[in-house]
Structure 1
Amino acid sequence: MLDPIVNFFTRIFQWIGRGIGLVIGVILWPFMWLGRWYTHRGWILKTVLGAAVLALACLYAYFFWSTQRWTGFDPDYVARYNFEKRNVSAGEEIQAAEGATTPKSCGRSAIVDVTADLIDFNVNENAWVPSMILSKAGLFGVPWRHTPFFDNKAAFQLGINQAVRRTAIELVDTLGRVRGTSQIDQNLQDARGAVTFDEETWYFGINPFGPKTPTPSFYRAAIRDLQAFNERLAACNATFDARADNLVTFLDRIANDIGSTSDMLRVRSETYNSGWFDTRADDRFWFAYGQLYAYYGIIHATRADFDDVIKSRGLVPLWDRTEQQLRAALNITPFIISNGKEAGWIMPTHLATMGFYVLRVRSNLIELRSVLDR
């Protein structure tokens, strides 16, 4: 009596096996055809094509290694700066000991130091993925951000770069000059120009056609300019205007920046609910994560640079809470990003969770700004 049932399931598994074999055959057919074609060519053509295939294989191996190895990633990276031991605001003259003959010195800018280190983390400690040729080529022409593969690190780096760009702009426009009416600092201006350069330029381009200077070279130049500014500031030959109204402006710009990211997360979360199968959820998540990762250090550095203002306005408890919430957001590192429904019970909604933390940080920044603006 069981024979018909056994035969039925046997036929089903045979059909499934044939279907899988057919799919594999369709996928492998172009490669098999190329293999047969290659074996009938002359040795010169074989050598040239073999070298090209080997070079492509090496490029893919390097691309895979670069996208999967996150060198220097540390959510607690702020601890190594020991900002709590600083006792001087940025640009403030350091009082020399009585009778000392050493040249006068001033406080370095922690914001500038952290910004330069974040760029270094992006392009020196790690390969800059967005401008790599295979990152630009995608998967058979399909951009990696439309696939589940190899785009998380690139999105994370772009998120960091977004915060770095915003900070560089504010350093030029407000923080690195007196009341916005003094001359723009040339080092900061050069750094801003370098760090706002196109994020995806490789060694060669089509529009305009010809060789180009790749993106990482511009960003490395920005590091040198930021460090040069800080050396001049430490020698009291540059300006850092650590006034309360400049702090208000800076916090307002950061709040607006992450507010845009919050809206990006909201739109994706509300429009698509494919759970683990949403191939664009991961790059949006890691962009937001990278942005908060960078602002975690920049907010700590801002506290060090505006130490006098923060203490005199009684902002220490609120500032502590802002830093804690930024750090809490960095605890969210799921292996696979899911964009499920908020009321779902199988697939989680990591985008909504990240959006919640982004909004919490933004609300604290707005509160800080409101207290300072009274």
Structure 2
Amino acid sequence: MLDSITALFRRMVGAIARWLGLVFVWITWPLLAAHGWYRQRNWLIKLPVVAFVTLLALLYIYFIWQTQIWTGFNPAYPDVYKFSDRKLSAGQELPAPSGQQAAAGAPKTCQTSAIVDVAADLTDFNVNQNAWISSMVLYKLGLFGMSWDDTPFLDNKASFQRGVNSVVRRTSAELVDTIGRVRGTSGINSDLQKARGNLQFDESSWYFGLHPFGPKTPTPSYYRAAITNLRSFNADLGTCKALFDGRADNLLQFVDHIANDLGSTADILAKRAADHSYGWLDTRADDRFWFAYGQLYATYGILSAAGADFQQVIAERNVGTLWTGTITQLQAALRIQPAIISNGPEDSSFMPSHLATMGFHILRVRSSLVEIRTVLGGR
């Protein structure tokens, strides 16, 4: 038994050494060839080359810094909002301050939407507090033409951001179609419509593109515009000029769609875990894991906010305990932050299956959401 374990470790070390050797040769041979060519050039050519290489080096330093430093990352971020202090559901008229008589003709004020606040702040976290990695030119160029997603390097933050954005996109669609309007009796809110359109924009657009060929508006510009749209809607909601339809069927549909999205992610994780169980050598395990983590990270904030926005419905349908349990499950999932993602066999003692672990937590959350959906539907 001991001999077989020792042999396994030797094979692993040998495989890693060979892989690192190939990577080293792959990286260094173009540099050696370029150095030989450079030595034979005159200064009219050397100076522009030096300037270009210096600029490229600075860009790579900035790129690597942005991929490794996660500004504002906080798995407990919903606590900052103090949703428990909100006493009314979103869209309900706020009472006049205690001890004061409302002045004649004074404008009404209504409770703003916590969901909209969180969606705007998550987008701000993605594109203002941090650089949006997926549209950076060096991310698009990849590692010698290979997509960073196909390597174990520098793609975790990009995957996490896309996971967060997938939930914000879903939320913006629900706000436009159902929550931000009274179904059948009101038009689509223009701010929410613009926000959804901006958030649906291509995640990897840079200042210039090939399909179609020519200059483009980069992705972060659209997402920043969506932040403005969302905050504008909430400002109108605060002055009772916008609508928030906090009905049980709207919450049911929202929960149902979130549950379906999580189910799709769990299926992706399960397939990856089953078909590519190479332990630490699976180069796509990290981006699968961090996309799922980003999805849960955003879902935690959005569902915490929904608990405040739909508090009356949640109380009337007696789903408070289920809702709190779901939030607790999300908190437990977000505590999983391995330094290196492993996609090993589920029964492995040496290379854990982090994808299977994350999939388990996602399915727990999804199961709770399905139960909430059932209670809300009265079935």
Which bracket does the TM-score occupy, shorter chain normalised?
over 0.9
**Corresponding residue for 2:208?**
204
Aligned counterpart for 1:214 among listed residues 208, 211, 218: 218
Cα displacement (A) at 1:45? 1.1
1:79 is matched with which residue? 79
- Is 1:48 aligned with 2:48? yes
Please show how residues 251-330 of structure 1 align to structure 2 within 5 Å. 251-330=255-334
Alpha-carbon separation, structure 2, partners of 1:21 and 1:100: 76
Q: Read off the aligned partner of 1:104 and give its amino acid letter.
A: K
Q: Deviations over 1:24-52 (max 9, x none)?
A: 67753432332232122121211111111
- Per the TM alignment, residue 222 of structure 1 is displaced from its structure 2 partner at its CA by 0.1
**TM-score between the two structures when normalised by the length of structure 1:** 0.92
Could you tell which deviates more after superposition, 96-105 or 106-115?
Answer: 96-105
Which residue identity does 1:100 align to in structure 2?
A: A
How many angstroms does 1:354 deviate by?
0.2
TM-score, normalised on structure 2? 0.91
Q: 1:231 to 1:314 in 2, by over 3 A?
A: same
Change in Cα spacing, 1:23 to 1:74, as seen in structure 2 (3 Å) is closer
Give identity over the alignment, percent: 59
Count of aligned pairs between the two proteins: 356
Give the Cα separation in 2 of the matches to 1:344 and 1:236.
Answer: 57
- The one-letter amino acid paired with 1:87 is K
CA deviation digits over 1:154-200, x for unaligned, max 9?
A: 00000000000000000000000102542000000000000000000
State the match for 1:348 in structure 2. Answer: 352
In the TM superposition, what whole-angstrom CA distance separates every residue of 1:179-235 from its partner, at most 9, and x where no partner exists? Answer: 254200000000000000000000000111111100000000000000000000000
Aligned-residue offset at 1:271 = 0.8
Q: Is the 8 A contact 1:107 1:233 kept in 2?
A: yes
Cα distance in 2, alignment partners of residues 30 and 149 from structure 1: 20
Pick the structure with greater CA Rg.
1
Distance 1:25 1:338, change over 3 A: closer
Aligned match for 2:169, one of 165, 169, 180: 165
- Supply the distance in 2 between the matched residues of 1:86 and 1:31 (Cα, whole angstroms): 60
Unaligned runs of 5+ in 2: 1-16
Match of 1:144 in 2: 148
CA separation of 1:26 and 1:320: change in aligned 2, threshold 3 A: closer
Give the conservation status (yes or no) of the 8 Å contact 1:174–1:180: no
The answer on whether the counterparts of 1:262 and 1:358 sit within 8 Å (CA) in structure 2 is yes
Is 1:59 paired with 2:49?
Answer: no
Distance in 2 of aligned mates of 1:22 and 1:176 = 55
Q: Deviations over 1:84-122 (max 9, x none)?
A: 000011000112256222421000000000000000000
- Unpaired segments ≥5 residues, structure 1: 1-16
Q: Match of 2:35?
A: 35
| Residue 35 to residue 107, structure 1, CA distance change in 2 (3 Å) | same
Is the CA contact (8 Å cut-off) linking 1:176 and 1:240 kept in structure 2?
yes
* Structure 1 pair 38–334 and aligned structure 2 pair: CA distance change class (3 A): same
